[in-house]
């Protein structure tokens, strides 16, 4: 193996930010103007009956209704040489709004129909006496036509647009840091990268495990399994500094990373261990021998129970956030869900048509599980384990290698292999793409998320680890994570 890391070199790729262009609003074609005079209504006989008979109206005042409607009919426009013609005494927005309202209520054919002036309206215009009031309402700033539509039917009135949609959150398209990871294996069934709650990244390279401190960028060699063994999986305990290492000879080693000391070695599997998952003091290990072993590190025995059900190698394991359910995926195209006490799966999902390695529980909704299939499947599927139902399916177009959910927003990220090697950020439940990130030249087989939930690290057979700022912070969607802000450049991890 190569000896210690080469010095840092700052070959920082400049992030590329997508340019957002706002569409220009095209004003609608001219519509026929409707002569309207907003004015007070003369009292009718019906109103007279409703008013106290002892109350006499003043003949010199105009009676207004209970609605606040401006009356322009009595304005003395001649005093300041202001015309009161139907074309100029009405602002354009009122006519446009009336046209849009008719189109929304009665269809596009009614947009250009001008309602006739009834004899009552003509009489009301003539009845209003002149007044010294010379003020009138007029819109000084011409508003965009989309703001006048009462219902926003773009297909009803040609040329009218909705108000602009809020621009999606910007996700940097380039990694803020790249680590060289020599001997990082290109094997779909392994899980060689994990990020601890103490902000330390563990990476399995060949027969060694290296630790990278995200705060100090310090690299530490944790262990060397020797020439006859190799690392197949790594997994941090939920709290503390214990790291589990699954090996190719079917053993699990527990290490205290703070002291770089091995605590114990547990056996039980006959073949390599490619998947590990912690639940408090319980550790689950999945192997090529098709079994899952439940290990209590406090107990003297190597394992306390054995879960059987898969017909091929177990390559995906994830405990739910409440530690009550364990999801497992295998090379038999099966997704199983186990409870704390079962030795047989309580739920079986067989819809995938390829190996199921990518598994992620939602931190936002209890029982919501996402899974991804391999090259022959390419789909991300969502399940409700509470109701035992299949919710939805999304064809991604590429082999799904990993899934992880953001704990800050209702979004998730997927990494892919054949044939596009891309990283996609999705918004759930619409499954709209927020960003597609590229840069790896091999399958993106490994994925882990930082403890603050803002940064992900991806690993591939191109022997690089790339760090991306993809998720917002819990408080602000524009705040850059502390990890990404302080450590730039390209380094060798060993």
| pLDDT per position as a tens digit, 455-479 | 999 999 999 999 999 999 887 544 4
| pLDDT above 60 (res 396) | yes
Stretch 137-163: mean pLDDT: 47
Q: Give the pLDDT of residue 72.
A: 60
**Candidate ranges 40-49, 126-135, 215-224; pick with highest mean pLDDT:** 215-224
Q: What is the pLDDT of residues 169-193, one digit of tens each?
A: 889 999 999 999 999 999 999 999 9
pTM, two decimal places: 0.67
Domain 177-473 is of which CATH architecture?
Answer: 7 Propeller (2.130)
| pLDDT above 70 (res 487) | no
Nearest to 253 by CA among 242, 264, 261: 264
Instruction: Kindly report which listed range (55-59, 343-347, 485-489) carries the lowest average pLDDT score.
Output: 485-489
- The contacts of residue 77 (CB under 8 Å, 6+ apart) are 83, 84, 89, 134, 136
| pLDDT above 50 (res 362) | yes
**Other Cβ atoms within 10 Å of 418 Cβ, number:** 14
Q: What is the pLDDT of residues 83-123, one digit of tens each?
A: 555 444 445 567 778 888 877 777 766 655 555 555 555 55
The pLDDT mean for the chain works out to 79
Q: Give the pLDDT of residue 412.
A: 97
Residues in the chain: 494
Q: What is the pLDDT of residues 155-172, one digit of tens each?
A: 444 444 555 566 778 899
Order across the sheet with 177-180: list the strands. Answer: 444-449, 455-460, 464-469, 177-180, 489-492
Q: Give the pLDDT of residue 283.
A: 97
- Residue 157 phi, psi (nearest 5): -115, 115
Extract the tokens encoding 333: 């195209």
Per-residue pLDDT band at 15 (split at 50, 70, 90): very low
| pLDDT above 90 (res 225) | yes
Q: Give the pLDDT of residue 181.
A: 96
Q: Give the pLDDT of residue 454.
A: 96
Higher pLDDT, 72 or 285: 285
C-alpha distances in angstroms, 367 versus 284, 361, 364?
20, 7, 9
Q: Give the pLDDT of residue 476.
A: 55
Hunting for tokens 């207004």 — which residue is that?
64
Q: Give the pLDDT of residue 74.
A: 57
- The contacts of residue 49 (CB under 8 Å, 6+ apart) are none
Hunting for tokens 């009462």 — which residue is that?
150
Indicate the Cα dihedral angle 254, 316, 290, 335, nearest 10°.
Answer: 150
Q: What is the pLDDT of residues 279-289, one digit of tens each?
A: 988 999 999 99
Stretch 314-330: mean pLDDT: 96
Q: Give the pLDDT of residue 450.
A: 96
Q: Give the pLDDT of residue 168.
A: 73
Q: 469 forms bridges with which residues in the sheet?
A: 455
End-to-end, the C-alpha distance of the chain in Å comes to: 10
319 vs 285: CA distance, rounded Å: 12
Three-state SS at 306: strand
Q: What is the pLDDT of residues 248-267, one digit of tens each?
A: 999 999 999 999 999 999 99
| pLDDT above 50 (res 42) | no
What is the Cβ-side half-sphere exposure of residue 259, based on CA atoms within 13 angstroms? 8
Q: What is the pLDDT of residues 91-101, one digit of tens each?
A: 556 777 888 88
- Residue 159 phi, psi (nearest 5): 90, 0
Extract the tokens encoding 151: 């219902």
Q: Where are the domains of the chain?
A: 177-473
H or E segment and range at residue 124: helix 119-127
Give percent of the chain with pLDDT exceeding 70. Answer: 66
Q: What is the pLDDT of residues 404-451, one digit of tens each?
A: 999 999 999 999 999 899 999 999 999 999 999 999 999 999 999 999
């Amino acid at each position: 193996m190569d000896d210690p890391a080469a010095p840092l070199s700052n070959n920082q790729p400049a992030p590329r930010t997508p340019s957002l262009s706002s569409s220009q609003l095209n004003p609608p074609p001219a519509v026929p103007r409707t002569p309207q005079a907003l004015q007070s209504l003369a009292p009718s006989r019906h109103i007279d009956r409703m008013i106290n008979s002892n109350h006499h109206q003043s003949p010199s005042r105009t009676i207004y209704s209970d609605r606040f409607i401006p009356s322009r009919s009595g304005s003395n426009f001649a005093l300041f040489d202001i015309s009161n013609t139907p074309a100029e005494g009405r602002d354009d927005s009122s006519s446009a709004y009336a046209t849009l309202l008719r189109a929304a209520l009665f269809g596009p054919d009614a947009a250009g129909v001008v309602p006739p002036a009834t004899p009552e309206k003509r009489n009301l215009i003539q009845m209003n006496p002149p007044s010294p009031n010379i003020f009138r309402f007029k819109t000084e700033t011409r508003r965009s036509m989309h703001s006048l539509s009462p219902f926003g039917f773009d297909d009803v009135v040609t040329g009218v647009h909705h108000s602009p949609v809020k621009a999606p959150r910007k996700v940097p398209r380039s990694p803020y840091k790249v680590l060289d990871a020599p001997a990082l294996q290109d094997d779909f069934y392994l899980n060689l990268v994990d990020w601890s709650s103490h902000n330390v990244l563990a990476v399995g390279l060949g027969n060694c495990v290296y630790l990278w401190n995200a705060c100090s960028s310090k690299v530490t060699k944790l262990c060397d399994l020797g020439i006859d063994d190799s690392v197949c999986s790594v997994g941090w305990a939920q709290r503390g500094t214990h790291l589990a290492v699954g090996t190719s000879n079917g053993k699990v080693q527990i290490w205290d990373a703070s002291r770089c000391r091995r605590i114990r070695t547990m056996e039980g599997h006959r073949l390599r261990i490619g998947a590990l998952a912690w639940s408090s003091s319980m550790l689950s290990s999945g192997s090529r021998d098709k079994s899952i072993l439940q290990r209590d590190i406090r107990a003297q025995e190597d394992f306390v129970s054995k879960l059987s059900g898969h017909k091929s190698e177990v390559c995906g394991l994830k405990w739910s956030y409440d530690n009550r359910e364990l999801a497992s995926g295998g090379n038999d195209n099966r997704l199983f869900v186990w409870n704390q006490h079962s030795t047989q799966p309580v739920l079986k999902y067989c819809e995938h048509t390829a190996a199921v390695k990518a598994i992620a529980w939602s931190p936002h909704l209890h029982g919501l599980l996402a899974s991804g299939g391999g090259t022959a499947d390419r789909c991300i599927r969502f399940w409700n384990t509470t109701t035992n139902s299949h919710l939805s399916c999304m064809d991604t177009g590429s082999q799904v290698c990993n899934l992880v959910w953001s704990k800050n927003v209702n979004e998730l990220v997927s990494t892919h292999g054949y044939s596009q090697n891309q990283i996609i950020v999705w918004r759930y439940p619409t499954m709209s793409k927020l960003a597609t990130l590229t840069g790896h030249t091999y399958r993106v087989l490994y994925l882990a998320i930082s403890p603050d939930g803002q940064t992900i690290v991806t690993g591939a057979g191109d022997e690089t680890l790339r760090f991306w700022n993809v998720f917002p912070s819990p408080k602000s969607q524009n705040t850059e994570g502390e990890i990404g802000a302080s450590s730039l450049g390209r380094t060798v991890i060993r």
